[in-house]
């Protein structure tokens, strides 16, 4: 007997909650299982928007376990679904998650994150802006740009309340980078990671080269 769509939707919501709970305690492998089951359930129910949201969560969990190609494929699927609707907030979430998943490729990652940041700024979504700025800082830090990383972390801190859980991590990152003595005059230099003349086609080409299977995802 086929289950009603309402029952499938409720089941998917429960599985999704389990996935988020697993991510919250740093158990991404368990989260992948829950999100995969939730995805199969919403697809059976024919709920396209919910499918996109779960794809974002699944992509984030896959990225957390180093499954970059699979993560990028899921996030690209989510972005494609959301591109036909008016949910700009979730479009930005997908874009930001895609940038984070591609953090090994700073030019592409930064371009995706900057795009997501612009949308969140238009929407006035402050916590999300801070999270994206933090990720931009992480990308800069991991690719030898401590001055740019500090700038991004400070921008994020300026948005967050001092008691926010993420604020302590940001302050710690700034202190660590400053203590390393690697910033110097570079703190004031512009970020060279993203060319001001880069285009969507440039991003697509670099991503195709960097991540095998991107076009086939």
Q: What mean pLDDT is predicted for residues 73-97?
A: 96
Cα(171)–Cα(25) distance, integer angstroms: 22
At residue 165 the predicted structure's pLDDT band, cuts being 50, 70 and 90, is: confident
Q: Residue 8: what pLDDT? A: 87
What integer pLDDT is reported at residue 163 of this predicted model? Answer: 85
pLDDT of 3 reads 62
Kindly give, in sequence order, each residue whose CB lies less than 8 Å from that of residue 167, ignoring residues fewer than 6 positions away: 157, 160, 161
Cα distances from 135 to residues 59, 75, 100, 132, 144, in angstroms, run 16, 17, 7, 5, 14
* pLDDT above 50: residue 186: no
Q: Which helix (H) or strand (E) holds 117?
A: helix 106-123
Phi, psi of 87 (to 5 degrees): -85, 80
Q: Rounded mean pLDDT of 116-140?
A: 97
State how far the Cα of 154 lies from the Cα of 135, in Å rounded to an integer. 12
Percentage, residues of the chain above pLDDT 70: 81
pLDDT in tens, 3-55: 666 788 899 999 999 999 999 999 999 999 999 999 999 999 889 999 999 99
Is there a contact between 102 and 115 (Cβ–Cβ < 8 Å)? no
* Whether residue 188 has pLDDT greater than 50: no
- Residue ranges of domains in the chain: 9-85, 113-194
Whether residue 54 contacts residue 16, with contact meaning beta carbons closer than 8 Å, is answered with yes
What angle separates helix 48-64 from helix 5-24, to the nearest 10 degrees? 20
* CATH architecture for segment(s) 9-85: Alpha Horseshoe (1.25)
């Amino acid at each position: 007997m086929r289950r009603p769509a309402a029952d499938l939707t409720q089941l998917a919501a429960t599985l999704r909650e389990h996935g988020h709970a697993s991510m919250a305690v740093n158990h991404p492998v368990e989260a992948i299982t829950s999100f995969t089951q939730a995805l199969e359930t919403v697809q059976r129910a024919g709920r396209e928007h919910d499918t996109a949201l779960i794809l974002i969560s699944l992509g984030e969990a896959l990225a957390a376990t180093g499954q970059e190609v699979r993560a990028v494929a899921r996030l690209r699927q989510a972005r494609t679904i959301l591109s036909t609707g008016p949910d700009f907030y979730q479009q930005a979430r997908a874009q930001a998650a895609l940038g984070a998943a591609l953090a090994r490729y700073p030019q592409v990652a930064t371009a995706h994150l900057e795009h997501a940041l612009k949308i969140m700024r238009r929407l006035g979504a402050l916590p999300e802006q801070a999270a994206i700025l933090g990720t931009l800082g992480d990308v800069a830090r991991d690719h030898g740009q401590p001055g740019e990383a500090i700038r991004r972390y400070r921008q994020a801190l300026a948005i967050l309340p001092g008691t926010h859980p993420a604020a302590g991590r940001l302050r710690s990152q700034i202190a660590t980078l400053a203590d390393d003595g690697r910033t110097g005059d570079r703190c004031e230099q512009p970020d060279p990671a993203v060319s001001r003349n880069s285009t969507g086609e440039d991003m697509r080409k670099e991503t195709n080269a960097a991540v095998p299977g991107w076009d086939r995802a």
